[in-house]
Amino acid sequence: MMKLFLDTADVDEIRTAARWGVLDGVTTNPTLFAKVGGSDDDVLTEICRITPGLVSVEVVAEDVDGMLREGRRLAALAPNVVVKVPMSESGLETIARLAEEGIRTNCTLICSANQGLLAAKAGASLLSPFVGLLDDINEQGVEVVRDLAALVGTNVPRTEVLAASIRHPRHVTEVALAGAHIATVPLTILRLMAHHPLTDSGIAQFRRDWSAAHAGQGHDTDRDEVTTRRSHHVGD
């Protein structure tokens, strides 16, 4: 079954998804950390503590040496950190060198199957095709997910496809059917997945029917408790 990651740096949102029993991991980026404020390292450490699976954290340097320094520092913060590296020539070198050191990486901003193939060969643990970003320019983001899932399944079984830039619940279904190992979504989409107008209206109707059927039948909690106490007293 496809895993679900939460795309956020908000600890409260992560706790919510964890309580639902559907949280498999978390993806973050510098923009998401900027939204929550505070010390990035402190927030990241807490996220890693409450997340049952992998936590993807992005480097911001553009050169290989800078990305390596950041990647090593991030990986040392918690055992479930995966270093997110953007797709580029420097990114490929960084992924290869981190892989040699046993550090897991997530190659992000993948927009073609060829990019994903290169990242997988370099040693990336996760490949993140940006589905919604591709759809925005009239390309087929889900097809890139499908191609990558076929490529890694045949050639690089150690690598997983993580569908990113998910814009709506239907995207989640589509990437799951296309073979994605993981989809990362914001909490807003996770909430939409849990609801359907017919489900919500059905629940409301059941409640109305129950209330109408039991109106005036004395289902009063306080009175029931008094009756129960009296019956116990008689039994004594």
CB 71 within 8 A of CB 95: no
CB 89 within 8 A of CB 81: no
> What are the distances in angstroms from CA 207 to CA 30, 195, 198, 218?
45, 17, 14, 17
Alpha helices in the chain (DSSP H): 11-20, 30-36, 40-50, 64-75, 89-100, 113-122, 131-136, 141-155, 169-177, 187-193, 197-214, 221-235
Tell me if residue 84 is catalytic: yes
Environment class of residue 101 by beta-carbon count within 10 Å: exposed (0-12), middle (13-18) or buried (19+)?
Answer: exposed
CB 18 within 8 A of CB 190: no
Catalytic residue among 3, 35, 84, 121: 84
CA distance linking residue 43 with residue 28, whole number of Å: 11
CA distance linking residue 236 with residue 226, whole number of Å: 16
Catalytic residues: 84
